Structure 1
Amino acid sequence: MINALGKVLKRMHYPLEVMLICVRWYAAYPLSLRHIEEMMAERGVFVDHATVHRWSIKILPILAAVFRRRKRAVGSSWRMDETYIKVAGQWKYLYRAVDRDGDTIDFLLRAHRDHAAARRFFERAIELHGVPEKITIDRSGANTSAIESMRADSGADIELRQSKYLNNIVEQDHRAIKRIVRPMLGFKSFRCASILIAGIEIMHMIKKGQLSCPADRAASAADQFYSLAI
């Protein structure tokens, strides 16, 4: 990870601490890039908003990979749903799942809302966390067929439940992500959207206590985020 981050930072002329602060602010709070530019200027650091965007695109994938390795285990009862994200003027679909306690299982941005997208989401989540005991969804035909096809192909004993009421927990959790995305006024490309949403999801999971840290060391959400770069 250190080598990967070192390669990214090689041609950047700002201290790592400054870059991490800007990237964290962008992922953690409902701020535009110009807001961050102004806030840094008030602190005597002059950085263009486009530069902050470039830092985010380069740094967040590395931190996301570290977070995945250090993410706490989640429960075996999943609630899954998808929400809309605008990319290049068109609506795309952010698949997300949380467990019974509200901890994030996984997330995946896809161009289409169909069987293939839902199945890819479930396969990735299972690869990361193992096979769940239960998956609760709404009455989406694509999500239902994706789970049924996985059960048929793998023989996994997954209980499928279709309940709007039980799925409220993931629908409410979408709001934390949409609140950060809204000031960004849409994404210019699918790649940028995927990277930035991953950063937003990381900060959201850190705030929920999903980063594994030493039991004897209490750390703020900010310090936990910065620790991903160490």
Structure 2
Amino acid sequence: MTSDPATYPGHRFPAEIISHAVWLYHVFSLSLRDVELILAERGITVTHESIRSWCRKFGAEFAAKLRRGRPKPGDTWHLDKVFLRINGVLHYLWRAVDQHGVVLDILVQGRRNGSAAKRFFKRLLAGLKYKPKRIVTDGLRSYGAAKREVLPDVRHRTSRYLNNRAENSHRPTRRRERQMQRFKSPKQAQRFLSAHSMIYGHFRPRRHLMTAAQHQRARAEAFRIWRQETCARAAV
């Protein structure tokens, strides 16, 4: 006898449909209405507002599960920040990646001074429970002030030419920012980008460093972990 599809408490749609909608929204540059249309083509009638609710509720949960299960990060961290204009006010998106291009964490803040850098460093260490051997940043002096206080024993390299890994990792954010017609608030930007960076990166291994067979195995493993964390384990 075939068992009934797994569901999440309080939701009438199967977990497989909900997780698929969240996957579509975060992995591809789609709007909520685009996801609604894709699901409708497959015979699933659901409004874009319901999809918004799913992505808001489950996106963070799925990202947290993926973050807890990911391998230990590399020992060299690249840090960078870009500006975000939210409701006409300038904010800064701080981002850290390891030498393999894996996003470690992001933080949206209103400043880029020493206190903001220190807050980001502490967030990284609290979330990873691990210290790097080296950090690479641009020439912003706020990094040095925070590093001396929070990571005094870690080597610090400043170079505008060695930080391409962190700078390139901002590209998916810029695409989503344009598609969403800018973020509406710092809280919304932080909530969305925290989930997006983890889910998007989970399905984007560094393909140029892999053979075709290695990439296929990495992709299959990414899907296996996604199904496990979003359907088999999370649903009851």
Please indicate the TM-score interval, normalised by the length of the shorter structure. 0.7 to 0.9
Partner residue, 1:53: 52
| Identity between Structure 1 and Structure 2 (%) | 30
Partner residue, 1:101: 100
- Name structure 2 gaps, 5 residues minimum: 1-6, 207-216
Shift of 1:54: 1.0
Shift of 1:140: 0.9
Secondary structure at the counterpart of residue 169 of structure 2: helix
Partner residue, 1:12: 11
Partner residue, 1:219: 220
Aligned-partner Cα distance in 2 for 1:93–1:45: 39
In the alignment, residue 77 of structure 1 is paired with which amino acid?
T
How many pairs are equivalent?
A: 214
Report the CA distance shift for 1:28/1:91 in structure 2 as closer, same or farther (over 3 A).
Answer: farther
Deviations 1:156-204 (A, max 9, x none): 4111111000011211121133223431222233333222212211123
Larger deviation, residues 13-22 vs 186-195? 186-195
Runs of 4+ residues deviating >6 angstroms: none
Shift of 1:112: 2.6
2:176 to 166, 174, 180: 180
Larger deviation, residues 33-42 vs 78-87? 78-87
**Residue pairs, 1:43-192, within 5 angstroms:** 43-127=42-126, 128-151=128-151, 156-192=152-188
Deviations 1:110-130 (A, max 9, x none): 233222221121112223151
8 Å contact from structure 2 (residues 85, 182) kept in 1: yes
Aligned-partner Cα distance in 2 for 1:218–1:137: 31
Report the CA distance shift for 1:69/1:192 in structure 2 as closer, same or farther (over 3 A).
Answer: same
TM-score (norm 2): 0.80
Partner residue, 2:212: none
Secondary structure at the counterpart of residue 59 of structure 1: helix
Larger deviation, residues 22-31 vs 95-104? 95-104
Secondary structure at the counterpart of residue 121 of structure 1: helix
Report the CA distance shift for 1:30/1:69 in structure 2 as closer, same or farther (over 3 A).
Answer: same
Shift of 1:86: 4.1
TM-score (norm 1): 0.82
Partner residue, 1:213: none
Larger deviation, residues 198-207 vs 85-94? 85-94
Secondary structure at the counterpart of residue 150 of structure 2: helix
